[in-house]
Structure 1
Amino acid sequence: MALDRWIALIILMICMAYGYAAFFTLDVGLPPFMQRNAIWPSTFPKVLVVLAIACTLIILLGQGKGEAGPKEGDIDYRRLTDYKLGQALLLLAMMAGYALMLRPVGFLISTVAFLTISAMVLGERKLQYLLPITVLATGLVWYLVQQVLGIYLRPLPYFLGTGG
Structure 2
Amino acid sequence: MALDRWIALILVGICLAYGYAAWFTMDGALAPFMKRNPIWPSTFPKVLSVIGLLTSLVILLGLEKAEPKEADIDYRRLGQYKLDQAVMLLVLMVAYALCLRPLGFIFSTGAFLILGSFILGERKWVVMAPVSLIATFVVWYLVQQVLGIYLRPLPGFLGG
Task: Give me the TM-score of the superposition, normalised by structure 1.
Answer: 0.82
Superposed displacement of residue 87, structure 1: 0.9
Match of residue 91, structure 2, among 90, 93, 99: 93
State yes or no: 1:141 paired with 2:139: yes
The CA deviation string for residues 125-162 of structure 1, in whole angstroms up to 9 with x for no partner, is 22222222222222222222222222222121111123
- C-alpha change, 1:49 and 1:119, in structure 2 (3 Å) is closer
The runs of at least 4 consecutive aligned structure 1 residues that moved more than 4 Å come to 63-67
Superposed CA RMSD: 2.3
State yes or no: 1:58 paired with 2:58: yes
Superposed displacement of residue 10, structure 1: 1.3
The CA deviation string for residues 44-86 of structure 1, in whole angstroms up to 9 with x for no partner, is 333333332222222223369586xx52322222111101111
Inter-partner Cα distance in structure 2 for 1:151 and 1:158: 18
Inter-partner Cα distance in structure 2 for 1:156 and 1:54: 42
Inter-partner Cα distance in structure 1 for 2:64 and 2:32: 50
The aligned counterpart of 2:159 is 161
**Equivalence map 1:39-118=2 (5 Å):** 39-62=39-62, 71-118=69-116
Whose Rg is larger? 1
Work out the number of aligned pairs and report it: 160
The one-letter amino acid of 1:89's match is V
SS of corresponding position for 1:28? helix
Identity in percent: 65
5+ long unaligned stretches in structure 2: none
- C-alpha change, 1:133 and 1:61, in structure 2 (3 Å) is closer
Inter-partner Cα distance in structure 1 for 2:46 and 2:131: 40
Kindly indicate whether structure 1 or structure 2 has the higher relative contact order, using CA contacts under 8 Å at least 6 residues apart. Answer: 2
Task: Give me the TM-score of the superposition, normalised by structure 2.
Answer: 0.84
Structure richer in helix, relative to its length: 2
